[in-house]
Amino acid sequence: NLSYATVGVEFWNTSNSKIINNTISNNEFGIYWYSSNNNTIANNNISSNNEVGIYLDESSNNILANNTVSSNNYCGIYLDDSSNNTIANNNASNNYCGIVLYKSSNNTIASNTVSNNYGGICLDYSSNNIIANNTASSNNYGGIYLDDSSNNTIANNTFHLNGMAVS
Residue 27 to residue 50: CA distance in whole angstroms: 6
Q: What are 118-163's pLDDT values in tens digits?
A: 999 999 999 999 999 999 999 999 999 999 999 999 999 999 988 8
Q: What DSSP character marks residue 103?
A: S
Which of 79, 85, 25, 37 lies closest to 55, judged by CA?
79
Residue 67 to residue 46: CA distance in whole angstroms: 7
* Neighbouring residues of 38: CB distance < 8 A, sequence distance ≥ 6: 15, 16, 61, 62
Residue 108 to residue 115: CA distance in whole angstroms: 19
Pairing of strands 142-147, 91-93: unpaired
Q: Please give the pLDDT value at position 42.
A: 98
pLDDT band per the 50, 70, 90 thresholds, residue 101: very high
* Neighbouring residues of 160: CB distance < 8 A, sequence distance ≥ 6: 135, 136, 137, 138
* Neighbouring residues of 45: CB distance < 8 A, sequence distance ≥ 6: 22, 23, 24, 25, 67, 68
Q: Please give the pLDDT value at position 73.
A: 97
Q: What are 36-50's pLDDT values in tens digits?
A: 999 999 999 999 999
Q: Say what the pTM is.
A: 0.97
